[in-house]
C-alpha cells in the first residue's frame, strides 16, 4: 500500500530548541493516524509544513508522492484541512464561506453533500460567521474539511468546542471516510477521542518523534483522577496497597488518588469503607504526557517503534 504521508528528516528550527527536528514518518493510505503530544511539542508545526504553509529548515515531506513545498497547490486539492484556529470570515454567511473555499480549490462542489453534512452537524449555513458560537464555527470547519470527500484529512484538534452528540457524529464521519479509503491525520489532546478513531499514534515531545505505536499498546500511559467521599472512616491503607493506585491523599472524609489501568483493585479497597460519592475524570492528554514524560525523564528512554 502506498503512503499518504511521508516525511524524511523534516525539520523547522526556530532556535532555542523550539520547532520540529528530523521527523521521519510514514502514514499508509487508508490509515487513521493520531499525532499526540503536549502543547508546544511541534504538532501544529508539522501540520503547517505538510500543508506548505511554512518552509522547512531542512528535510522534506510528500503527500501521495507530491512534494509539500514544490507542489502545494496540487497537495491542497487532495487534502481536507481543519486548522487549530479557523480564519476570521467576518460577515460572510456559512454558505458563502463554503462557496468561497470551494472556488479556491477548483472543481465542482456537490451541494447535496454540503446540505447533508450541515444537517448531520446541525449547522445553519444561513448565519454569518461572526454570529456563530465557538462550537458552530468548529462544525463549519469540519464541513469545509469533509465536503469534497478528500483523499487525506488533516485535522488539528477537530472536536474542540463540540458537544457530546456532535463529537459522536464526528467519530462517525471519520469512520465513514476511512471506509471509503481516505487517510486521516489527526492531532488531539483528548485521549478518548484518539482511542475512538485512530489505529496508530505517533507521540511527539520537544519537537522530536519519540514513539509510534498501535493504540492498544498505549494503555500504560492512561490514568484517571478519582475523588471518593466516605460516610465514616477512610480505608486509606487499603487504597494505597491497591494495584495501579498512587498519589493517595486524604482530607477529612474525602480521598483523592490516581488510577492506572482497571478500577477493580481500587473498588475492592473502597468496599472497606462506606462510600457516599465517587467522581472519576480523565485528564487531558497534556496532563497525561506531562506526567508520563516527567516519570520517564530519569531514564530518558530511546525512541521506540511498534509496527
Same domain membership, residue 246 and residue 136: no
Distances (CA, A) of 244 to 66, 202, 262, 275, 295: 47, 25, 8, 20, 15
Rounded to whole angstroms, how far apart are CA atoms 207 and 136?
32
Distances (CA, A) of 186 to 153, 212, 299: 8, 14, 29
Residue 217 predicted with pLDDT over 80: no
Same domain membership, residue 109 and residue 22: yes
Same domain membership, residue 96 and residue 24: yes
Same domain membership, residue 132 and residue 230: no
Same domain membership, residue 213 and residue 91: yes
Across the chain, what does the average pLDDT equal?
Answer: 89
Same domain membership, residue 95 and residue 19: yes
Same domain membership, residue 207 and residue 91: yes
Same domain membership, residue 60 and residue 92: yes
Same domain membership, residue 166 and residue 76: yes
Query: Inter-axis angle of helices 164-179 and 134-146, to 10 degrees?
Result: 10
Grid cell locating 53: 504553509
Query: Inter-axis angle of helices 111-121 and 134-146, to 10 degrees?
Result: 150
Per-residue pLDDT of 182-210, as tens digits, reads 999 999 877 677 878 899 999 888 999 98
Domain assignment of residue 227, given as a range? 223-281
Percent of the chain beyond pLDDT 70? 89
Please tell me the predicted confidence (pLDDT) of residue 104: 85
Per-residue pLDDT of 224-278, as tens digits, reads 899 999 999 999 999 999 999 999 999 999 999 999 878 999 999 999 999 999 9
CATH number, domain of 77, equals: 3.40.50.300
Please tell me the predicted confidence (pLDDT) of residue 288: 64
Q: Which among 171, 233, 207, 201 is positioned nearest to 23, based on CA atoms? A: 207
The pTM assigned to this predicted structure is 0.78
Same domain membership, residue 181 and residue 248: no
Per-residue pLDDT of 29-79, as tens digits, reads 999 999 988 778 899 999 999 999 999 999 999 999 999 999 999 999 999
3-state secondary structure of 199: coil
Amino acid at each position: 500500500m502506498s503512503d499518504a504521508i511521508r516525511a524524511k528528516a523534516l525539520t523547522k528550527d526556530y532556535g532555542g530548541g523550539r520547532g520540529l527536528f528530523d521527523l521521519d514518518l510514514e502514514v499508509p493510505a487508508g490509515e487513521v493516524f493520531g499525532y499526540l503530544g503536549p502543547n508546544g511539542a511541534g504538532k501544529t508545526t508539522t501540520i503547517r509544513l505538510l500543508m506548505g504553509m511554512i518552509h522547512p529548515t531542512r528535510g522534506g515531506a510528500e503527500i501521495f508522492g507530491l512534494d509539500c513545498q514544490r507542489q502545494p497547490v496540487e497537495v491542497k486539492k487532495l487534502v481536507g484541512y481543519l486548522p487549530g484556529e479557523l480564519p476570521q470570515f467576518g460577515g460572510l454567511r456559512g454558505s458563502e464561506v463554503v462557496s468561497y473555499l470551494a472556488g479556491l480549490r477548483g472543481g465542482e462542489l456537490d451541494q447535496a453533500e454540503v446540505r447533508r453534512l450541515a444537517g448531520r452537524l446541525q449547522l445553519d449555513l444561513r448565519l454569518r460567521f461572526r454570529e456563530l458560537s465557538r462550537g458552530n464555527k468548529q462544525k463549519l470547519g469540519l464541513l469545509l474539511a469533509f465536503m469534497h470527500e478528500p483523499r487525506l484529512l488533516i485535522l488539528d484538534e477537530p472536536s474542540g468546542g463540540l458537544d457530546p452528540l456532535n463529537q459522536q457524529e464526528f467519530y462517525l464521519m471519520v469512520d465513514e471516510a476511512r471506509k471509503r479509503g481516505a487517510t486521516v491525520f489527526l492531532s488531539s489532546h483528548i485521549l478518548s477521542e484518539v482511542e475512538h478513531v485512530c489505529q496508530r499514534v505517533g507521540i511527539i515531545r520537544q519537537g522530536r518523534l519519540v514513539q509510534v505505536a498501535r493504540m492498544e499498546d498505549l494503555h500504560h500511559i492512561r490514568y484517571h483522577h478519582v475523588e471518593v467521599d466516605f460516610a465514616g472512616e477512610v480505608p486509606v491503607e487499603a487504597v494505597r496497597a491497591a494495584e495501579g493506585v498512587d498519589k493517595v491523599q486524604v482530607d477529612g472524609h474525602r480521598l483523592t488518588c490516581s488510577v492506572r489501568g482497571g478500577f477493580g483493585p481500587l473498588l475492592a479497597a473502597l468496599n472497606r469503607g462506606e462510600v457516599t460519592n465517587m467522581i472519576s475524570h480523565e485528564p487531558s492528554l497534556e496532563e497525561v504526557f506531562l506526567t508520563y514524560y516527567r516519570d520517564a525523564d530519569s531514564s530518558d528512554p530511546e525512541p521506540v517503534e511498534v509496527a
